[in-house]
Amino acid sequence: MVALIHKAGDQLIHRRFADTPELTAAVSASLVEELEHQGVIQTGPFDASICPGATLRDLSSQHASRFLTVAASERNFPLPPRTPLLPLLKHLQLVVDDQPTYASHASVQIMLFADRLEIWNPGQLPLPLTFESLLNPHPSIPRNPLIAEAMYLARYIERAGTGTLDITRLCRAAKLKPPQFRESLGQFVQTIYRASSAKATAQAETANEQIPGKLREKLAHVLQLPASQISPELTSQAIIILELVASNSLPLDQLRSQAGLQHREHFRRFWLEAFLNANWIQRTIPDKPTSPAQKYRLTTTGHRWLKQVHKHHNPQAPD
């Protein structure tokens, strides 16, 4: 066995790792590289992969023209603003056989809470970067270099890996807490904290005591989130929405506005559809979901959960 170890040791590349996830990621990457080398699997860059079923008709000529204008002004991009879509995509290497590349079913989620803003982005931090290194000067290692190049030309990003440093600097200038970077469920999560206030603090403290574990697990199931992600702010927001439709039947935009939420699409997808699917909220005109007169009201199921919350907060409340 000792002889085998010595023999194999001469053929290995030794590398340190900080924790088990880092080791797992490194071993997986090495395995994929070896399988590609042997020809067992064949892969190309993710952002160079053909998007099945996509055509040029799926893309906006207006957005492409805006991109060309900004890229020419900010980055000296050589193509003129009236360049057709196909030549533009070929120049950016984002088309194969006249078919657009890049296919992903994941989406970016932006969540605004009482004390912070969270941005959930599909993907993980590429090695050898760590969360600590993002707060200090570090190299830029884009996972999708073709898309990164287009984002650079439109001046959404820089090449020097300065984005997280700029976020940290701006937070410091605004006298906010330092930003936080982490990974959760295969997502890269960045948190930017809002200015502290007595109201936000009181809201969080109250929500901390509002529901026990079983009620929190029910809410997590409805929102399709792990129970560990059901924060006091998320709980408080759910209670506000349910209490609003418990008092009156409300149309979507009025409900969103009174709940203190601004992003219509996020409210509809994250909150309203979740409550509808769980039968906590129902439509007043169920056979015409898109009716201009559509409103939403609390169901018996939603009322039961809300009643249990109030009962926990006030044990003397009547059943």
Residue 5 domain-assigned (yes or no): no
Is there a domain that residue 306 lies in?
A: yes
Higher per-residue confidence, 106 vs 89: 89
Using DSSP's 3-state secondary structure scheme, residue 312 falls into helix
Q: Based on the domain organization, do 72 and 115 belong to the same domain?
A: no
Residues 204 and 300 reside in one and the same domain: yes
> Model's pTM, two decimal places?
0.39
279 has pLDDT over 90: yes
Query: Are 212 and 308 part of one and the same domain?
Result: yes
User: Are residues 220 and 271 located together in one domain of the fold?
Assistant: yes
Confidence of residue 111 (pLDDT cuts 50, 70, 90): confident
Residues 190 and 203 in one domain: no
Contacts of 291 (CB under 8 A, 6+ apart): 285
The mean-pLDDT minimum among 103-107, 233-237, 268-272 falls in 103-107
Does residue 172 belong to any structural domain of this protein? yes
- pLDDT, tens digit, 9 for 90 and up, residues 199-256: 444 444 454 445 677 888 889 889 888 877 787 778 888 888 998 898 789 999 889 8
Domain count, the chain: 3
Picking from 159, 180, 195, the residue at the C-terminal end of a domain is 195
Examine the domain organization and report whether 208 and 121 are in the same domain.
Answer: no
Position 3 in a domain: no
Assign residue 299 the CATH number of its domain: 1.10.10.10
- Percentage above 70 pLDDT, the chain: 73
Does residue 300 lie in a domain region?
Answer: yes
Could you tell me if 235 and 211 are in contact, meaning their C-beta atoms sit under 8 angstroms apart?
yes
186 shares a domain with 205:
no
DSSP code, position 144? S
| Residue 269 to residues 110, 251, 275, Cα–Cα distance (Å) | 12, 15, 10
Burial letters for 42-61: b for 16+ Cβ neighbours within 10 Å, e otherwise?
eeeebbbeebeeeeeeebee
Q: What is the pLDDT of residues 145-176, one digit of tens each?
A: 777 777 778 777 776 677 788 888 888 888 88
191 and 203 co-located in one domain: no
Q: CATH number of the domain that 129 lies in?
A: 3.30.565.60
Residue 33 in any domain: the answer is no
Q: Is residue 9 part of a domain?
A: no
pLDDT-above-90 percentage for the chain: 10
> Do 90 and 154 share a domain, yes or no?
no
- Both 253 and 287 in one domain: the answer is yes
pLDDT digits (tens, 9 = 90+) for 55-98: 777 778 888 888 888 888 877 788 888 888 888 888 877 776 66
User: Per-residue pLDDT averaged across 132-146, rounded?
Assistant: 75
Domain range for residue 203? 199-313
Closest listed residue to residue 177, CA positions, set 167, 189, 187, 188: 167
**What is the structure's pLDDT at 298?**
93
Q: Are residues 82 and 116 located together in one domain of the fold?
A: no
Does 26 reside within a domain? no
Same domain, 89 and 113: no
Grade residue 49 by pLDDT with cuts at 50, 70 and 90.
low
299: closest CA among 284, 285, 280, 283? Answer: 280
